Amino acid sequence: MSPATSAGTSFHDLDDFVGYPRVGDIAVSPDGSRLVATVTVVNAEGTDYVSALWEIDPTGHRPAHRLTRGTEGESAPVFTSTGDLLFSSKRRPAQRNGEPEDDSAGDTSLWQLDAAGGEAHPLVVRPGGVTLARCASAADLTVVVAPVLPGAHDERQHAALHRQRQESDVDAILHQGYPVRFWDRDLGPAQPRLFTIGADGGLSPLSGHLGAALVEHEPQVGSRGRFVLTTASVPEHGGAQRTVLLSFDVVSGEESRVVDIEGFDVEAALISPDSTRALVSMGPQTTPSSAPAPTLFLLDLQTGARTAVAEGWDRWGTPGAWLSDGSGVLVLADDQGRGPVFCVDADSGDIRQITTDDATYSSVLVAPQAEDAVAYAVRSSPAFPSEVVRIDVASGEVTALPGPVARPELPGELTEVTATAQDGRELRAWLALPGSGNGPAPLLVFVHGGPLSSWNAWTWRWNPWVMAARGYAVLLPDPALSTGYGQEFVQRGWGAWGEAPYTDILALTDAAVARADVDSERTAAMGGSFGGYMANWIAGHTDRFDAIVTHASLWALDAFGPTTDASFYWAREMTEQMALDNSPHRFVDQISTPMLVVHGDKDYRVPIGEGLRLWYELLSGSALPAEADGTTAHRFLYFPHENHWVLKPQHAKVWYAVVTAFLSEHLLGTPTPPPHELGLTPAQE
């Protein structure tokens, strides 16, 4: 299923790169006999990505085969206790003669592929769609999250209100609380609620109206189908929030707060196979002087007693999957530029590292009714994209399963760089080197976003191999605030973004350019989101780089704080003075490096005002202002309909083409015309 390449590898041609198939979520049947993954490809028009479901042999003997072929795509697979496969899709059910048109066009519905075979059929189709589904592993129960308009008392009224808004062409939203937006979408007026699915496919409400409490929270269903556990956001004074753990009794519908501690946030919870316990990640809310510090607890669901586990483990663990016998829990955590799978012993609380390769794991699953201690997961690294693997929990042996997507050939090699920070801390970074062998390579420094993250997995949006294919060396530094290096490593950059994170990046850059295969005279810095913030900070504090690319970046922190989609979280991290001290906009007059500014208008995490203000102040106040005729060495790539990420394949291609042209001009001295899709050059015949 690997696409053909026109020159060299898939990274040499942007059409090949943006069209490369991508593995996503996985699901395993309760008995472990079936494993399903989503695979995303570009549609026939080249204007969007669509996903299909593929079945992968858990034993690794048979080749993968495709299950679904809908033009609208299929995603979010989940198995019922009887082995039926549920998935989400925007495909519409076939209309029978005389049936009225439904109001669900364009909405996501829940579909079912029966274990016995046959064609997929709709299970839940409703106006507003279905957000996600979760199933009990040992009972006939499926719980869905679906949006409901607050004025509706039942599904019939919801449908009527939904139709009324559509027919009147009204999309206004009247808010009385916070938040109003999240990442890339508006919240409201419909609000998520929990439902159970009846034998006839009808929905029965499990929860009442909870406002925005369930936005971006995924419920967990007890194996016997008696209760549902979910984290939820609850409002606090002044527009703030905290997260709690809620439980819903499936029979009575009774709601209870299992964990609700003032000043603490519950990050995740995972129910044990016998439904008596849950592994919970929680920690105190951040303050300007205290970074996040999540801790794992075993929670007794009968008594509410909490027991700390893995004490002394200086990593942030996320619950992944309970072993089928309940003896332990597989946990994921960043660690030294990797993301291994660990196992927490459910009795002693001791932790054991299972995987040891240079990879990061996600979507780890265990068949709840299987006897063997085998797990399945998706793994990737900066050297290869996502693939599905089987893990022997006892030995740690990892086997790549025959999947629908082969690893692409890389146009170079991956190595590591180390350095010492100003405070004596050991630093490390990945370095992607081109395979051209044409002398020392110009260096691109990619600063990751987050900032609480790490360069430890594959990325399609900021891919170093596209740049390596064009002869660049790409440094992927993990400076202060990066995860996987211990609590103190995060704390040393907390609320002081312009200090240790900045000097750490420069120290690692120095180490990279000291290599004989890297050219110290041709360098550029790049970053998106927090990485874009760092690119802006770098631009105002050093002229060592020849070009800087800043994407979806924070510029004036006093304006960013109150306009981002989660202002309460920002207020916890920095005081007004800290935000002012660390704001890049104060140093615009020191910027003498050409900058490429990139921003999407629908970005709610870093609103477009940041990009607009940065662009204007570069032209009016930098050391490279606009000339008398209005021209400038700076550039602004604006996407009216993209958000924090550039998601459309045709726009991703334009992004890479503009970035590489900008770098070619300033690092290689080779002016390159912009992509013809921008309409700035004669049309191709």
* Pairwise CA distance, residues 321 & 343, whole Å: 9
The three-class DSSP label of residue 109 is strand
Taking residue 116's Cβ as centre, other Cβ atoms within 10 Å add up to 8
Per DSSP, the three-state class of 156 is helix
Residue range of the domain that includes 474: 412-678
Q: What is the DSSP letter of 176?
A: S
Residue 290 is assigned to a structural domain of this protein: no
Residue 76 covered by a domain: no
Residue 4, pLDDT > 80, answer: no
Q: Is 248 part of any domain?
A: no
Q: Please choose, from the candidates 242, 178, 258, the residue with its C-alpha nearest in 3D space to the C-alpha of residue 211.
A: 178
H/E stretch holding 78: strand 74-79
Alpha-carbon 378 to chain mean position: 14
CA distance 311 to 293: 12
Count the domains in the chain: 1
Two structure tokens written together for 603: 């970005």
Beta bridge partners of 135: 142
Rounded to an integer, the average pLDDT of 107-126 is 94
Per-residue pLDDT at 102: 57
pLDDT at 96: 53
Tokens of 52: 């299909």
Mean pLDDT of the chain: 94
> Of the given ranges (52-61, 250-259, 368-377, 495-504), which has the lowest mean pLDDT?
368-377
Q: Is residue 435 a part of any domain in this protein?
A: yes
**Cα gap 529→451, rounded to integer Å:** 8
pLDDT at residue 2, as a whole number: 38
Using the predicted structure, report yes or no on whether residue 621 has a pLDDT greater than 90. Answer: yes
Question: 208-249: per-residue pLDDT in tens?
Answer: 888 889 988 999 999 999 999 999 999 999 999 999 999 999
CA-to-CA distance for 469 and 451, rounded, in angstroms? Answer: 27
- Report yes or no on 530 lying in a domain: yes
**CA–CA dist 227, 30 (Å, integer):** 18
CA distance 259 to 291: 21
Cis peptide before 192 (omega within 30 of 0): no
Residue pair 319/265 in contact by the 8 Å Cβ criterion: no
The size of the chain, in residues, is 685
**Is 434 in contact with 469 (CB distance < 8 Å)?**
yes
Q: Which residues, including other chains, have CB under 8 Å from residue 277's CB and lie 6 or more apart? A: 271, 298, 299, 300, 301, 326, 346
**Average pLDDT score over residue span 619-647:** 94
Instruction: Tell whether the model's pLDDT for residue 605 goes beyond 90.
Output: yes
The CATH number of the domain holding residue 542 is: 3.40.50.1820
Determine the average pLDDT of the residues in 41-69.
96
- pLDDT tens per residue across span 398-413: 999 999 999 999 999 9
* Span 553-581, pLDDT tens digits: 999 999 999 999 999 999 999 999 999 99
- Listed residue (195, 192, 88) closest to 141, CA to CA: 195
- Give dist(CA 506, CA 405) in Å, integer: 37
Helix (H, G, I), strand (E, B) or coil at 271: strand
Q: Given a cut of 50, is residue 3 above it in pLDDT?
A: no
| Local confidence band at 630 (pLDDT 50, 70, 90 cut-offs) | confident
User: Residue 101's pLDDT band (boundaries 50, 70, 90)?
Assistant: low
Looking at the domain assignment, is residue 542 inside a domain?
Answer: yes
Is pLDDT of 104 > 80?
no
Q: What is the pLDDT of residue 627?
A: 86
Cβ-based neighbours of 445, under 8 Å, separated by 6 or more? 474, 475, 477, 505, 508, 509, 512, 523, 524, 525, 526, 545
Which residue(s) pair with 360 in the sheet?
Answer: 339, 380
The tokens 């924090």 sit on which residue? 644
Q: How far is CA 463 from CA 455, 460, 476, in A?
A: 11, 5, 10
* DSSP β-bridge partners for residue 550: 527, 597
Residue that wins the pLDDT comparison between 540 and 216? 540
